[in-house]
Structure 1
Amino acid sequence: MFLGIDIGTGSSKAVLVDSEGTVLDQATIAHEMSMPHPGWAEFDAESVWWEETCRLSRRLLDGRDASALQGVCVSGMGPSLVVTDADFRPLRPAILYGIDTRAHREITELNAEFGSGELYQLGGKMLSSQSVGPKLRWLARNEPEVFSSATHWFGLNSFIVARLTGEYIQDHHSASQSDPLYDLQANAWSRDHYAAVAGHLEVPRLAWPLDVVGQVHRRAAELTGIPAGTPVCAGTIDAWAEAFSAGARRPGDTMLMYGSTFFFVQNLHDYRSHELLWTTTGVEKDSLCIAGGMSTSGSLTTWMKRLFGDPSFEDLVAEASAAAPGANGLIVLPYFAGERTPIFDPDARGTITGLTLSHSRGDLFRATYEGVAYGVRQILSFMGEAAEETSRLVAVGGGTQARLWLQIVSDVTGREQSLPAQAIGASFGDAHMAAIGTGAVPPETDWAVIGETIEPDPRTAEVYGELFEVYDGLYPATRAAMHSLAAVQRRS
């Protein structure tokens, strides 16, 4: 058996899989992130991430022959930042990935200090709220006692690896999103930038996500039920584990992840970059990807649902399905938590444009799906500029259960999407990585099976083409007003 655990924004999930890719059991624990201030997004790494890892492991292994477990791998939302003492105890709540936009001043400062062009060449991307380096600089400036007391820093998966094995590692992919600490073309830490930003913090050992980096030690075995000595792979950020789970491993394969946020990962033949996207390492050794991420998608539909008084999603989707494509001339700009790619603007704000007294709840909910779809079209066009044209789109994530949303994305982009039959996601990819990393199955083993294909409806092409042009111009037209309102919100 192989145990995969993924800790996401809305829940932690675990799965037990055999060497044929058959799911033996799975479990989920729901949780909520903390947003203590505007622009902040945090989690308690101890009471949520570690405790849920222990609970899920015990739940799946209880009553089974745990000696059959041959490997463990963990992924999680990221890049996140956890700082700890020498015993790997967190000193403050973990700071999340690009949806946490607190370090906007530090982004500007680091660009001025090193030069934005130099940093782009170093890391294959512009500094943004997604980058770990500015968050470290923010911590040093705003919580100096915490920063000076810290000895180690982690991403989510590497924190769990440390608690399981006692090993202090960072996987190459997560490191490649820790700008400006990592030299992407050398696949190594950039010592000068590391010293300037991470300061006294010990330098983690680098490993590829599939590498076995240690074994479960006795204390962790007692807490998790995982037998002591079980091999643990490095793991990585959830979107890349999810892409792996769906078999998106060949150059040109592009994963669309429908989650609380929307994420894109395209595998590359060779090094490519685009200033509006992120170039990173991939899951497999020496691989490269180009990626993008929107700050809201599923979280926006959940917000909309609450705004409407918490009707069922089934009712809202039925009403949205009854609305005409284009939502009767309504456009949602989905920047409700700022935006990552393609505008890298933490002060961007959501807009609902075109409202009239005749619009219905169904129009508004449909326009929310369509607004995210317009963002998908935008980012795919930039990927096409930066790299080879995508050979196929593979759709994954909890949002794929909303079939209307899948259809709208295909209609807006004009692209078909392949939908894997196995919809568990990143935790399934983790188990797959554990099986390959421990040598139990050959590296070329692919557990992904495509269940169906979503085809675009050509009858919608004209209306979506017209409204996409409006969407594309909305941000430039409203940017100044957004920034003024963001400044007001920070004072409130």
Structure 2
Amino acid sequence: MRCTLGVDIGTSSSKGVLVADDGVILATATRSHDVSRPRTGWVEMDGRVWWDEFVAIVRELLAAAPAAEVAGVGVSGMGPCILLADDADEPVRPAILYGVDTRSGAQIERMTAELGVDEIARIGGSTLTSQAGGPKLAWVAEEDPDAWARARRLFMPASWLARRLTGAYVLDHQSASQVSPLYDIENERWHEPWWERYAGRIEQPSLAWAGDVAGKVTADAASATGIPAGTAVITGTIDAWTEAVSVGAHEVGDLMLMYGTTMFLVATGAETLRTPSMWTTAGAFAGTRNLAGGLSTSGALTAWLKDLTGADYPELLADAEASGPGAAGLLLLPYFAGERTPIQDPDARGVIAGLTLEHTCGDLYRAALEATALGVRHNVETMRAAGADIRRIVAVGGGTQGRLWMQVVSDVTGLVQEVPATTIGASYGAAFLAATAIAAAGEAPAITDWNPIIETIRPDPALRTFYDTLFDRYVRLYEGSKDVVHELAAAQRGASA
């Protein structure tokens, strides 16, 4: 049976899927892992784990479906990440992860002063934040000079897998556009003056689009994985964009809402929209642009509450549903790992307001769900203010398995969400991109055939006024507590140092 493989390297796990050419899932596999947090604001991972887990997942998938004939391989991963490797493609230090790693504040400030905020936005599309890859490169150069002296190549999870599978040194345009400010978004190429200034010793990866074929599986990679030598491998991209592909939310006017360890939003348009509060990037496909945003915690916050209380998810969800809208008067700011968009504040911290001795674990869990929904609303309103034309919203990710969470998001935002049949996420999107890449002319599959919409979540109009008021309080709570919270964040950094 002809099929494609898709593997995605995520923040808390790697997931793989084997998919028949009609979109039917033949087998799935997962490997859990942890990130390292050696200091407050630092989030790292050993890049060698990405390949090790890829090999283990692929071998499990192939063993589960021995009749499968793998015709293409799709790769995807969290990002933007900064994994630097030497001439022999050995990592010189742990990979620095995306915007949840906030160590590069000094480099952001210095580069912004050197280049000018307006010029950075003109060339790269976005102002510099903890999400940007350029300041993370500068941090390594300044704070880990021994590693920098050995560094020769730049990888992200998808490009690392493509390199190990094919030998190609390539990065997709979407990922490259998040190595701000080193990518010229209008001309879709590396910005040579700034690359030379901040990353001159690093060999530039060639650029391709996510669904382009990066190369073919080498004999060595075939021996390690069991994938036949000569099998096509796509370039791949960052997981949120691959998730958008997996549910068909990558056309102009679409918004993809990804429920995961973090929450991510990607709005697709034809024009380059710029706002300092969000991230402007190249799209996954030629001719598209994205305005993107992300919460630093969502599933990570609910997992923290689960571990803290010792309750299981079904119990917490039942109690949260019983708690009802407003969580018995609680209001929570979900900034437990700083916050990315739209406040762009790495020193933000979690706040729980309104606590009394009468509140329960269910109230806290309900407040956490509402907090992530309020964060989504804050992002959507900021996108629309910047000119984003959002006509259709599609939900994806592990959090879509819980109906209550999605209903809360719709109620808080007033948005209708479409839910497709398969919400396994980026690994499925990577398999689809691989199937498209190897298809004969005129025979490429349609994602609407692979993954049709099966459910629609509609907001309760009776709750609109209530959540309008709560959103106003949410915004004011951040502004009112910000100064004290920043002092506490500084004290935390001192303690961890």
What's the TM-score bracket when you normalise by the shorter of the two chains? over 0.9
- Retained in 2: the 8 A contact 1:81–1:156? no
Residues 303-359 of structure 1 show CA distances to partners (whole Å, capped at 9, x for unaligned) of 111111x21011011110001201122111011101110011111111001112222
Match of 2:45 among 34, 43, 46: 43
Deviations 1:46-100 (A, max 9, x none): 1x21100000111111375678211111101100110111121111111100001
Q: Match for 1:317: what amino acid?
A: L
Q: Which position in structure 2 is the counterpart of 1:438?
A: 438
Q: How big is each residue's C-alpha offset from its partner over 1:80-139, in whole Å with a ceiling of 9 and x where there is no partner?
A: 110111121111111100001111111101101101111011111111111111110000
Query: 3-state SS of the aligned residue for 1:393?
Result: strand
In the alignment, residue 367 of structure 2 is paired with which amino acid? A
Larger CA deviation: 359-368 vs 233-242 = 359-368
Structure 1 residues 195-206: aligned runs within 5 Å: 195-206=196-207
Post-superposition CA distance 1:443-479 (Å, at most 9, x none):
5722221110011112222221111100011222121
8 Å contact from structure 2 (residues 252, 288) kept in 1: no
Residue identity matched to 2:357? L
Alignment correspondent of 2:376: 376
Q: For 1:219 and 1:50, locate their aligned partners in 2 and report how far apart those are by CA, in whole Å.
A: 13
2:267–2:388 CA contact under 8 A, matched in 1: no
Which digits, 9 at most, give the CA deviation of each residue in 1:144-202, with x for residues without a partner?
A: 01001111111111111111111111110000011011000110000011111112110
Show the counterpart of 2:151.
150
Amino acid at match of 1:261: T
The answer to whether residue 6 in structure 2 is matched with residue 8 in structure 1 is no
* Cross-structure match for 2:403: 403
Q: Which consecutive unaligned segments of at least 5 residues does structure 2 have?
A: none
Partner-residue secondary structure (3-state), 1:69:
strand
Q: Which residue of 1 aligns with 2:333?
A: 333
Mapped to 2, the partners of 1:282 and 1:444 lie a distance apart of: 20
- Work out which of the residue numbers 451, 468, 472 in structure 2 matches 1:465: 468
Residue of structure 2 in register with 1:483 after alignment = 486
Specify the SS of the correspondent of 1:62. Answer: helix
Counterpart contact for 1:327–1:367, Cα < 8 Å: yes
SS of residue paired to 1:73? strand
* AA of the residue aligned to 1:458: P
Counterpart position of 1:361: 361
Q: How many residues align?
A: 490
2:153 is the counterpart of 1:127: no
Local SS of the residue matching 1:453: strand
- Structure 1 residues without counterparts, runs of 5 or longer: none
Q: 117-126 or 427-436: which moved more? A: 117-126
Deviates more, 1:200-209 or 1:461-470: 461-470
Aligned-residue sequence identity (percent) comes to 49
Q: Distance in 1 between matches of 2:164 and 2:110?
A: 34
Cα distance in 2 for residues equivalent to 1:270 and 1:471: 31
Match in the other structure for 2:300: 299
Contact kept in structure 1, 2:27 and 2:64, CA below 8 Å: no
Q: CA deviation at 1:24?
A: 1.3
Using the TM superposition, give the Cα deviation of residue 385 of structure 1 relative to its aligned residue in structure 2, in angstroms.
1.6
1:250 Cα offset (Å) = 1.7
For the residues of structure 2 that align with 1:70 and 1:356, how far apart are their CA atoms?
59
SS at match of 1:424: coil
- The amino acid of 1:438's aligned partner reads I
Asked whether the 8 Å contact 1:165–1:215 carries over to 2, the reply is yes
Q: Structure 2: how far apart are the matches of 1:187 and 1:144?
A: 30
User: Secondary structure of the equivalent of 2:472?
Assistant: helix
Query: 1:66 touches 1:226 (CA, 8 Å); kept in 2?
Result: no
Find the aligned partners of 2:195 and 2:105 in 1 and give their Cα distance.
Answer: 19
Shift of 1:34: 1.2
The aligned counterpart of 2:86 is: 85
Q: Tell which deviates more after alignment, 349-358 or 74-83.
A: 349-358
Instruction: State the alpha-carbon separation in 1 of the partners of residues 238 and 307 from structure 2.
Output: 29
Describe the shift of the 1:63–1:419 C-alpha distance in structure 2 as closer, same or farther (beyond 3 A). Answer: closer
Amino acid at match of 1:398: G
**In structure 2, distance between residues paired with 1:214 and 1:111:** 37
Partner AA of 1:395 in structure 2? A
Question: Partner amino acid for 1:337?
Answer: A
Q: Distance in 2 between matches of 1:29 and 1:156?
A: 15
Structure 1 vs Structure 2 CA RMSD: 1.3
Question: SS of the residue aligned with 1:88?
Answer: coil
Which whole-Å CA distance do the structure 2 matches of 1:442 and 1:350 have between them?
Answer: 50
**CA apart distance, 1:208:** 0.5
2:269–2:389 CA contact under 8 A, matched in 1: no
Q: Does 1:107 align with 2:88?
A: no
Query: What letter corresponds to residue 453 of structure 1 in structure 2?
Result: T
What amino acid sits opposite 2:51 in the alignment? Answer: W
For 1:271 and 1:94, how far apart are their aligned partners in 2? 29
Distance 2:40 2:444 in 1: 44
Q: By how many angstroms is 1:480 displaced?
A: 1.3
* 274-283 or 236-245, which deviates more: 274-283
Q: Secondary structure at the match of 1:306?
A: helix
Q: State the 1:389 CA deviation.
A: 3.1
State the match for 1:222 in structure 2.
Answer: 223
Tell me which residue corresponds to 2:19: 17
Hey, what's the Cα distance between the residues in 1 that align with 2:20 and 2:271? Answer: 34
Give secondary structure in 2 for the equivalent of 1:203: coil
1:32 aligns with 2:34: yes
Change (3 A) 1:464 1:161: same
